[in-house]
Amino acid sequence: MTLQQQKPMHFINYKTVSLILKSRDLFYPPKYILDEVGIKPGVCVLDYGCGPGSYSIAVAELLAGTGKVFALDIHPLAVNQVSQIAKMKKLTNIKTILSNCDTGLPSNSVDIILLYYLFNDLENSEKVLCELYRVIKPHGILSLSEFNLNKISPRLEMTQLFRLVKKNKATHTFMKTS
């Protein structure tokens, strides 16, 4: 199955995963992980594979209207959920994108990409990484988090698109290669 053929998970599966992620957020709030990224006012952030929006919403609140957040997911329920939460919280600096790979964003337009707990599940990680490489600014940051970061980092660096610049407790920070 190629990435273009990849389908969003079934409604019940999505709701179950969403509940698990919300439970995780109670014990380990997104703010703690985002502190490792060093998000500054005015930046443009892409939350690739945003799910129920834990990180997208937290970033939008951190930016307090000074930057832009794009929350992308393959699942219509995810982008709808993020839109509803943003509307409820009156966050105007967040936009959702329903896609299985292409962001639709201009090249070199994103300062920070969050790729959290998704890399292992990608059908075609190379195609996704090429898209992320295209949209990230030359000195932009790709923040990666996975359950086992030590297995992911070498795979990502082997693509020659990104290089590891910092290992944090919960994330690894990569930069776009020239």
Q: Is the dihedral of CA 100, 104, 106, 109 positive or negative?
A: negative
In which element (H, E) is residue 166 found? strand 162-167
Name, in order, each residue with C-beta under 8 angstroms of 155's C-beta and a sequence gap of 6 or more: 119, 125
pTM: 0.86
**What is residue 168's DSSP assignment?**
-
Locate the DSSP E strands across 23-89. Answer: 44-48, 68-73
pLDDT at res. 1: 31
Report domain extents, the chain: 3-176
pLDDT, one tens digit for every residue, the chain (178 residues): 333 345 555 556 666 666 666 666 667 778 888 999 999 999 999 999 998 899 999 999 999 879 999 999 998 989 999 999 999 999 999 999 999 899 999 999 999 999 998 887 787 888 999 999 999 999 999 999 887 777 776 677 667 899 999 999 889 999 998 7
Fold held by 3-176:
Rossmann fold (3.40.50)
Encoding tokens for residue 141?
């940051």
pLDDT at res. 103: 97
pLDDT at res. 159: 77
